[in-house]
Amino acid sequence: MTKQTFTIIILCEAWIACNSPNSPVESKNNIIPPSDSSPTVSIIPNKTKLAPGDTLKISLQASDSTLANGSIDFSDGTIIQFNHLSKIFDTTIVHIYSQVGIYNIYVKFSDGNMTTSSSLIITVTFVWTTQSSGTINTLYSVFFTKMNTGVVVGDNGTILRTINEGTTWETVSSGTAATLNRVSFVNELIGTVVGTGGTILRTIDGGKSWTPQISGTNSNLHSVSFIDANDGAVVGDNGTILLTKDGGTNWINQTPIKWDTIIPPSPPMLYDVCYPEPNHIIALSGGTWSFSLRTTNGGTNWVYERNVPSNYPRIIFWNKDTGMMFCPDHMTGQNWTIVYKTTDGGNTWFQYGGSTGGIYAYDVSFSNPDNGMIVGSPSSVGGSTIECTTDGGQTWTAQSSGTTSIALFGVFFIAANNGTIVGSGGTILHTTPGGM
């Protein structure tokens, strides 16, 4: 073998070839660096289960000095490049995941001739804390107008309001003993509540006080949707559809179709309504007789479509064309929830992704088109009371709520990692970044 002269850095008993003649190192003749020793890489996390917003700290350790370059891929779009110039590479890298999901962290080192890698699975889930509601009444609906300001409604005319993100909830007088089924706000000040016996309440001060409105019906009302401060729709039992163009000063009872021309002829329960754009309203029925009603001219004409295999469906729209239905499936006897999607304003619907694994959903909330959550009760196949999606409803992952024996009826996310859930027995659950 031909002898060569090397300049050697001796660092922590490592041998590293150095081409800089000015390096403060010891020169030795006739020394050949040791051969590559099949390097290994290890990842040591401070924890493998996180909540959105938690700080993940990873200690990266490599066993060989010849590995000069490396990268770490957090599988959420973040990739960090780094250099490795010591025998034992040991450094801490900090990362924060903003969304729930399962992430495969992948670390790779390379010296140009060979590579070595290691991976680690990190699970990011919501962490829910119980808030004191001050009531044992069942709570059905929740809506937040700002991060810290929200309203909850429920049995016996219950209205609760918070201005500190649920740290404390204040009881607000509703002036009624009716069951309040749904609350919705069009802005920070103006909101509407609907309930049994034709109850409609309106606030113009962010929920501090509520004024009854004349609905013109004694039917139980289940859902409300406003597109602006004036134009809104309410649906309920006996095929009730109420429309207003003046903020509820006047409610007009619609007759969408002649019920005696279809089977069964009796007016059904209408369970949810959505107002995606001016003059465009979609209503969904509940119970074993399932269908949708749709108008694109402000209620002058309605299209009847028997295409909703659901008991108590929910509907949301992102824009005038794209929307989703979440339908607890009573027809198969499994009582899980099927997701449907439309891209033509509700003219046609198609099943989107797979069914939820084990939840009979009562409510849904999306903070953006990708990230959403459904809440309900465990289905007949067994399951959870909370499931979430990070891919727009194609797949769903069960979340631990700590309340598997309690039905959850309402959910609202004001941001991707800031949500509130309400349910039976006065239950209020809350999550924020970091699980606080």
pLDDT confidence tier of residue 278, bands split at 50, 70 and 90: very high
**End of a domain among 124, 157, 187?**
124
**pLDDT score at 395:** 83
- For the cut 90, the answer to whether the pLDDT of residue 225 exceeds it is yes
Give the model confidence (pLDDT) of 119-148 as tens digits.
889 988 888 889 999 999 999 999 999 999
Q: Look up the domain containing 20 and give its range.
A: 1-34
266/308 same-domain check = yes
**pLDDT score at 107:** 84
- For the cut 90, the answer to whether the pLDDT of residue 181 exceeds it is yes
Identify which has the larger pLDDT, 34 or 149: 149
Give the model confidence (pLDDT) of 69-109 as tens digits.
778 899 989 998 877 544 445 678 899 988 888 899 988 87
Integer angstrom CA distances of residue 76 from 2, 47, 119, 212: 50, 18, 14, 48
278/164 same-domain check = yes
pLDDT confidence tier of residue 205, bands split at 50, 70 and 90: very high
110/181 same-domain check = no
14/82 same-domain check = no
pLDDT confidence tier of residue 163, bands split at 50, 70 and 90: very high
Give CA–CA dist 191/150, Å, rounded: 11
Give CA–CA dist 120/42, Å, rounded: 9
5/92 same-domain check = no
95/222 same-domain check = no
pLDDT confidence tier of residue 152, bands split at 50, 70 and 90: very high
298/424 same-domain check = yes
Identify which has the larger pLDDT, 349 or 236: 236
Residue 49, Cβ neighbours under 10 Å: how many?
A: 11
Q: With CA atoms as reference, report the closest residue to 423 among 357, 332, 359, 339.
A: 359
201/310 same-domain check = yes
Residue 23 has phi, psi (to 5 degrees) of: -70, 140
Instruction: Find the helix or strand (DSSP H, E) in which 242 lies.
Output: strand 241-244
pLDDT confidence tier of residue 3, bands split at 50, 70 and 90: very low
145/253 same-domain check = yes
The pLDDT mean for the chain works out to 81
> The CATH number of the domain where 72 resides is what?
2.60.40.10
Number of domains in the chain: 3
162/234 same-domain check = yes
- For the cut 60, the answer to whether the pLDDT of residue 200 exceeds it is yes
Joined together, the tokens standing for residue 28 give 């030795």
Give the model confidence (pLDDT) of 368-377 as tens digits.
888 888 888 7
Per-residue pLDDT averaged across 378-389, rounded?
A: 68
232/138 same-domain check = yes
The side-by-side arrangement of strands in the sheet containing 41-45 is 41-45, 55-62, 89-96
- For the cut 50, the answer to whether the pLDDT of residue 202 exceeds it is yes
219/248 same-domain check = yes
Give the model confidence (pLDDT) of 292-341 as tens digits.
888 999 998 888 876 655 566 888 998 888 888 887 765 555 557 778 88
DSSP type of residue 354? P
CB environment 318-347: b (16+ within 10 A), e (fewer): eeeebbbbbbbbbeeebbbbbbbbbeebbe
**pLDDT score at 388:** 84
DSSP type of residue 32? P
Cβ atoms 160, 168 nearer than 8 A: no
Q: At CA 270, angle to CA 318 and CA 201, rounded to 5?
A: 80
Give the model confidence (pLDDT) of 7-59 as tens digits.
333 333 333 333 334 444 443 433 344 444 556 777 888 888 888 888 899 88
**pLDDT score at 170:** 97
Output the 3-class SS for 368-381: CCCCEEEEEEECCC
Single-letter code of the amino acid located at 40: T
**pLDDT score at 164:** 96
**End of a domain among 97, 124, 151?**
124
